[in-house]
Amino acid sequence: MSGSSVFAPAPGGAPVGRMLLAQTLFEVRLLVRNGEQLLLTAAIPVVLLWLLTAAPVFDTGAYSRVDFLVPGILALCVMSTAFTSLAIATAYERRYGALKRLAASPLPRWALLLAKALTVLVVEALQVAVVCGLGLALGWRPSGSAVSVAVLLVVGTLAFAGLGLLMAGTLRAEATLAAANLVYLLLLVLGGVVIPLSGFPSGVRAVVELTPTGALADGLRSVLADGDGLPWGSVAVLAVWAVTGLAAAARWFRWE
């Protein structure tokens, strides 16, 4: 056997599954090393749940404080990870040319976006475990179907991810940073996360219920606190946001 046949190169990309796994692990490591993103995804939701459960700042009506807050904080976790964190990280990757280089690699563009989605789901699973664990320690006793909760979290993730990618792919990185944090703060206060919607005027309440945060928090509360079945109204609102956001991101997302 000649030496040329032994050492003949076989250029080509790795199998897509292996590339997808490597990119997902890389995205997770990047997130773990980013202090600002960890603050958004882990510290703020946990601290809010603990403080607001201990201090009766808001009247939660017929619900105990922890029963009202845990579903809202879960909705906040989805928003912080699938929208704020994803938008900011993707915008700066686009600014520094990382997305442009990755798009030219053997990794397909759809696999890159799927890796980001899988990273979001991994982080959210950790968030749900931490928040639910703290809630149980504070006296929370959930009811309802775990399947209904999973459906709401997945559809809510798609809704927020579409909006986050749309923002990251159309605005400058600095504008995305400011806008994503502003939306986060506004929906934290006005999105039915920590303040009951019954405390808002009827017109404002009707608008908030149509936001992804309001729909997700209200849907999770109806399942976990009221023991209801799958809230199809909330699912429909989230599905509309998901389809609209993802379609707009696919249409107008710029890789550089």
Query: What would the pLDDT profile of 100-132 be if each residue is shown by its tens digit?
Result: 787 777 777 777 778 888 888 888 998 999 999
DSSP one-letter string for 121-165: HHHHHHHHHHHHHHHHHTT----S-HHHHHHHHHHHHHHHHHHHH
The pLDDT > 70 percentage for the chain reads: 94
Instruction: Give the number of domains in the chain.
Output: 1
Domain range spanning residue 182?
15-252
**Residue 6 within a domain:** no
**Other CB atoms within 10 A of residue 63 CB:** 15
Token digits of residue 107: 């990794």
Distance CA 130, CA 45 (A): 10
**Residue 9 within a domain:** no
Mean of the pLDDT values across residues 59-73? 87
The pTM of this model reads: 0.88
**Residue 112 within a domain:** yes
- Please write the tens of the pLDDT for every residue from 124-149: 998 999 999 999 999 999 988 999 99
**Residue 226 within a domain:** yes
**Residue 4 within a domain:** no
**Residue 128 within a domain:** yes
The pLDDT > 90 percentage for the chain reads: 43
Query: Is residue 158 a contact partner of residue 242, using CB atoms and an 8 Å limit?
Result: yes
Distance CA 187, CA 78 (A): 12
- Please write the tens of the pLDDT for every residue from 38-59: 777 778 888 889 998 888 777 7
**Residue 10 confidence (pLDDT):** 62
